[in-house]
Amino acid sequence: MITHSTGKLSKERLQAQQDRYDSQPRYDVLLIGSGMASLTAAALLAQSGRKVCILEAHDIPGGYVHSFKMGPYHFCAQIHYIWGCGQGDKVHSFLKKIGLDNDILFDPLDSDGYDHIMLPDRQRVKIPYGYDRLADNIERAYPGQGEGVRRFTAILERLTREVARLPEKIQWWQVFTQGWKFTTLLRYHRATLQQVFDECGVGAEAQAVLIANSGNFMCPPDELSILAYNGLFSGYNRGAYYPRKHFRYMIDRLVEFITSHAGCHIYYESEVTRVLTSGDYVDAVVTRDGRRFTAPTIVCNADPQKMAEVIGREKFPSSYLKPLNYDYSLTAVTCYLGIQGLDLRDYGFGRHNTWHLEQWDLNRTWDEAMGGDWSRPWMFMATPSLHTDEPGTCPPGTQILELATAANYDFFQGLKQLNRRDYNRQKKEVENRLIDLVEAHHVPNLRKHIKLHVVGSPTTNEDFCWAPRGHAYGQHLTPKNMGLGRLKSRTPWNNFFWCNAASGYPGVNGTVGTGMGLYMELTGDRFWSASQVPDTGTLIQQVRKMSLSPA
C-alpha cells in the first residue's frame, strides 16, 4: 500500500473526480496505473477513438518518470536520459503517430561524451557516439586495451542487427527453422556481461569504463544479461537524449493529450485493491474507496506480482505462475540537490552525465553496497538543469545536481521497521558520503552551495511508485529473466493484459515500446516495427549533427 504519496488532491479535484464517476461514463479500455507504458498505450488508443480510463494510485502521473516539487525545485524521480528519440526510432515514431513529434522535442547530450567516466586512477574517459571512437578513447587512456574493446563491441553490433530482425512473435520451433539467422543471439542468450568481457579479453580498466554505468541496469556485471546490457548500451550509442522542456513537460503533455479526447479520463488517488473475475474474463476492478470500474478491455500497468496478489494467485493456472515468479531488480539511494551560488559548468559538468568509481571491480563494489558498505561506491551524477536551455526545473541562478548509488532494499526496510531515526540517519550517512566524494574530486566546498536537499531510498521508491522492494526495472536483468520465458502481455483472462516494465522491457524506450506493442496487438494497427529503424550509422550521424547545432 502507498503510504506517503496520497492525500494531496484538493477537495475540489476529489469532488470533480467523484462527480465524473457518478455520471457513469462508459469506457472502452481501462488502464491500472499511469507509468510510461500505460501513457503510451492510452495516448495511442485515445487517438484511435477509444474512450480510455486510467486509475492511478499516486496523486500525479508518470510512474518513475514523474516529477516532484520540493521548494522551488522540480526533480524527475528516476529518469535522467533516454534513447530511441532519433527520427524513425521508437520514441520518435510513437510521438509522430500521435502528432506530438514537433511538440515533445529532445536534444542529444554531448556528441564527444554523453557519459563521462571518472576512474579510480582519476583519469576521465568519455563515452561518445560510435564504438570506434569509444575504443579509441579507451586506447588513449589505457594503451593496449582498445583491441579487446573492439572485439567486445563487434559482438554488440551483431546482437543489435539480429535483434532488429527478430519476428514480433517467436514460436519455439522457429529456433530450429530460422536459428541460422540468429547465431550470435543463440550463442550469448544465457551469457552475462562478465562472461563476454572475459571471452573478449577486455582489460580491467576497459571493463570499468564499459560498465561504470551499472546503475543504468541496477545489476553487477557478473549477473547482468549481455542482452540487457546491449539493449541499453547500443541504444545510447545511437543517441542519448533529454527532453528539451524536461520530463515534467513530457508527462504533462501526454496526459493533456489523452484527456483532451472525448470520454478519456484519469482518476488519481485511486488504488485498485480488488479485481473481480468470472471464468475467462475480468468483470471489473474496485478501488480502495469502493468505486467500481469496468471496460471491455482492462490493461494492468501495475507490477504483475503485486497485482497477482490482488487478483488471487490461486486463480492463475500453475503453468502461468512460473513467468510471474521473477526476481525484482536492485535499487538505489538518490540524492536531489538544489545548488545556488556556483555554476557547475565551471567544474566539468554540462550536457552529459558523470559516473564516478572508487575501485576497478564493479562486482566487488556491488557486493559491498549490498552489505551496507559505501566506503568505495560507484556514484552517478546528473545535472538536468544543464541538459537543456529551457527553464522549468529550478529558479533562475540555481542548478540541480542529482547523485545516486546502489542500495539494498532489505537493509533500509529493516532499519525503517525497527527504528525510523536509524533509517533517517543511514540515509544521511549515504548522502554525506556521496557529497564527500563530490567535494574531494569534483566540486570543492559544494556543501556551502546546497540550498535544498532530499534523499530517496529503496523504500521511498516503494511508497511513491508502487514498486515492490523499490525495484528500478521490474525484473532483475539476469539471463534467466531475459529469455523467451519472460512475462508477456497475455494473461489467463481474455480481456486482461499486462503492460509494464516486467512484461516488456524497462526504461522509457522499453516501456514506450511495451505500450506501442500492446496497442498494435489490441487494434491490429501495426504502425511500427524494429526493422524500420534506420541503421546505427545513420542514427549516429543524425545525433552528431544535432549535437553540433543550436536548439
Last residue of a domain, one of 238, 263, 278: 238
Among candidate residues 309, 346, 296, the one with its CA nearest the CA of residue 494? 296
Cell, residue 464: 511513491
What is the spatial distance between Cα 257 and Cα 505, in angstroms, rounded to a whole number? 24
Q: Which residues contact 221 (CB under 8 A, 6 or more apart)?
A: 192, 193, 194, 197, 207, 211, 214, 362, 363
* Residue 347 pLDDT > 90: yes
Q: What are the φ/ψ torsions at residue 527 (nearest 5 degrees)?
A: -85, -10
**Domain containing residue 312:** 11-66+248-325+476-526
What is the spatial distance between Cα 372 and Cα 264, in angstroms, rounded to a whole number? 46
Q: Are residues 257 and 231 in the same domain?
A: no
What is the spatial distance between Cα 391 and Cα 74, in angstroms, rounded to a whole number? 11
Among candidate residues 194, 190, 174, the one with its CA nearest the CA of residue 182? 174
Q: Residue 237 half-sphere exposure, CB side, CA atoms within 13 Å? A: 20
Asked if residue 432 is part of any domain, the answer here is: no
Q: Are residues 179 and 271 in the same domain?
A: no
Q: Quick count: other Cβ atoms within 10 Å of Cβ 274?
A: 14
Instruction: Give the pLDDT of residue 525.
Output: 98
Widest Cα–Cα separation across the chain = 71
Instruction: Give the pLDDT of residue 146.
Output: 98
Asked if residue 308 is part of any domain, the answer here is: yes
As beta bridge partners, residue 107 has 242
Q: Which residues contact 274 (CB under 8 A, 6 or more apart)?
A: 285, 286, 310
Instruction: Give the pLDDT of residue 84.
Output: 97
Instruction: Give the pLDDT of residue 1.
Output: 42
Find the mean pLDDT for residues 25-52. Answer: 98
Q: Are residues 134 and 224 in the same domain?
A: yes
Asked if residue 290 is part of any domain, the answer here is: yes
Q: Are residues 181 and 137 in the same domain?
A: yes
What is the spatial distance between Cα 64 and Cα 505, in angstroms, rounded to a whole number? 14
What is the spatial distance between Cα 424 and Cα 383, in angstroms, rounded to a whole number? 25
Q: Report the CATH number that the domain containing residue 45 is assigned in CATH.
A: 3.50.50.60
* Residue 169 pLDDT > 70: no
Find the mean pLDDT for residues 410-424. Answer: 96
Instruction: Give the pLDDT of residue 181.
Output: 78
Instruction: Give the pLDDT of residue 3.
Output: 54
Instruction: Write the single-letter amino acid at 466.
Output: W
Lowest mean pLDDT among 5-14, 20-29, 38-47, 162-171: 162-171
Q: Are residues 278 and 220 in the same domain?
A: no
What is the spatial distance between Cα 529 and Cα 93, in angstroms, rounded to a whole number? 10
Among candidate residues 225, 250, 318, the one with its CA nearest the CA of residue 505? 225
Q: Are residues 164 and 210 in the same domain?
A: yes
Last residue of a domain, one of 238, 257, 291: 238
pLDDT in tens, 454-493: 999 999 999 988 899 999 999 999 999 998 789 999 999 9
Q: Are residues 286 and 211 in the same domain?
A: no
Instruction: Write the single-letter amino acid at 53.
Output: C
Position 516 confidence tier, pLDDT thresholds 50, 70, 90: very high
The number of distinct structural domains making up the chain is 2
* Residue 348 pLDDT > 50: yes
Last residue of a domain, one of 238, 273, 302: 238
Mean pLDDT is highest, among 165-174, 227-236, 477-486, for 227-236
Asked if residue 230 is part of any domain, the answer here is: yes
Q: What are the φ/ψ torsions at residue 225 (nearest 5 degrees)?
A: -65, 135
Instruction: Give the pLDDT of residue 350.
Output: 98
pLDDT in tens, 251-287: 999 999 999 999 999 999 999 999 999 999 999 999 9
Find the mean pLDDT for residues 492-505. Answer: 97
44 compared with 544, residue with greater pLDDT: 44
Q: Are residues 204 and 261 in the same domain?
A: no
Strands (E) in 359-503, as ranges, are 378-382, 398-407, 450-456, 496-498
Q: Are residues 186 and 276 in the same domain?
A: no
Q: Are residues 233 and 252 in the same domain?
A: no
Asked if residue 484 is part of any domain, the answer here is: yes
The number of residues making up the chain comes to 551
Asked if residue 275 is part of any domain, the answer here is: yes
Asked whether the CA dihedral 43, 276, 500, 189 is positive or negative, the reply is negative
Q: Is the model's pTM score more than 0.85?
A: yes
Cell, residue 18: 467523484
Q: Are residues 141 and 202 in the same domain?
A: yes
Q: Are residues 163 and 137 in the same domain?
A: yes
3-state secondary structure of 522: helix
Percent of all residues in the chain with a pLDDT value above 70, rounded to a whole number: 96
Report in angstroms the alpha-carbon separations of 312 from 199, 271, 272, 277.
45, 16, 13, 10
Asked if residue 401 is part of any domain, the answer here is: no
Asked if residue 152 is part of any domain, the answer here is: yes
Instruction: Give the pLDDT of residue 549.
Output: 55
